Copies of this chain bind each other. A is one copy, B any other.
């Protein structure tokens, strides 16, 4: 659709260099010195030349674009926006551009966006799989040899690298902290029960209760969508119990914020009347009032690590699957009440 298509020859003329020098600059070759490169790039910007990467890819025997794809399952959860920002930091400095697509938990949409990304020759893919993704869904992608890093959620049997959090240890630490503050009725709120992440976190909850010699009550496990609205719904149901919980470990920070909202709607003060712990450590966890105690995954950091893992595979030229479980740590802020506060409050009751 271009009006007057600028060619490599136009650029070579304007910059006073040879056509092949321009080509080398376009290919980011190290054979061109900095001064020449800067001059050529200035002319390219000035004339508005667009490198036809599609054509270039077809011409090159070793077809490589400079795109990293990232496909997430819920862009409205700020965790994924932060993850994408982390990925961007790393791929940008490596000379890649990141294209992001959202599946909104639809396996069908996931198939479409991955197909489109493959058509456009992505160098690698970071995928937080939609709920219900099976190894078969990733089979042809794996067979193609494109490096893939699954984040957040693993897909059983898929032969791709994965970077997930230590869900069991994170929730266990949170439960032990609450038990140490004197809580006996600790709820586990939010999350879809049909996901591996939920199972791992729930197991961490159960094991920690047993470790602390606390009874496990199934009624204290209230699943919901892993969103702020889901958190409001979950705490509503938990507050209807005859014996109410006094604390909750939430599936993620979004749920935890919703739980805080729901508590306030009942005139209960999160951090004072009810202890709340999240999972993720999104940016808002620090600035929220009360600041959220949470299991820190550091979404941007996870994005950076996933990007580094992917780039390593791209540069190695082969996709050898690695499974990495990131350690997590409990960051204690105000939403769970401090040990001393708790004792003070209990002594007043």
Contact = CB atoms under 8 A, between A and B. Distances in A.
Contacts of A191: none
Nearest to A103: B88
A40 B145 CA distance: 24
Interface in A101-115: 101-102, 104, 109, 111-113, 115
Contact of A264 (B55, B261, B289): B289
A258 B232 contact: no
B1 A145 contact: yes
Interface string A262-285: 101100000000000000000110
Contacts of A116: 53, 66-67, 97
Contact of A85 (B102, B120, B229): B102
A52 interface: yes
Contacts of A260: 289
Interface string A120-147: 1100000000000000000110011110
Given A78-B81, A120-B67, A265 B289 contact: yes
Contacts of A45: 111
Contacts of A221: none
A2 to B, nearest CB: 5
B283 A261 contact: no
A100 interface: yes
Given A50-B119, A76-B85, 12 more contacts: A1-B63, A2-B144, A3-B145, A52-B119, A53-B120, A54-B57, A54-B119, A54-B121, A67-B120, A78-B78, A99-B100, A99-B117
B100 A101 contact: yes
A288 interface: yes
Nearest to A230: B287
Contacts of A98: 101-102
Is the interface on chain A under 10, 10 to 19, 20 to 34, or 35 or more residues? 35 or more
Contacts of A112: 92, 97
- Complex copy number for this chain: 2
Contacts of A3: 143-145
B287 A232 contact: yes
B88 A97 contact: no
A256 to B, nearest CB: 13
Contacts of A66: 116
Interface of A: 1-3, 45, 48, 50-55, 57-58, 63, 65-67, 75-76, 78, 81-82, 84-85, 88, 92, 97-102, 104, 109, 111-113, 115-121, 139-140, 143-146, 228-229, 232, 258, 260-262, 264-265, 283-284, 287-289
A221 B97 CA distance: 38
A54 B57 CA distance: 8
Contacts of A58: 54-55, 58
Contacts of A283: 76, 228-229
A89 to B, nearest CB: 9
A1 B53 contact: no
A120 B122 CA distance: 11
A229 B261 CA distance: 19
21 contacts: A1-B63, A1-B144, A1-B145, A1-B146, A2-B144, A3-B145, A45-B111, A48-B139, A48-B143, A50-B119, A53-B119, A54-B58, A67-B116, A76-B78, A76-B82, A85-B102, A85-B104, A88-B104, A98-B102, A100-B102, A228-B287
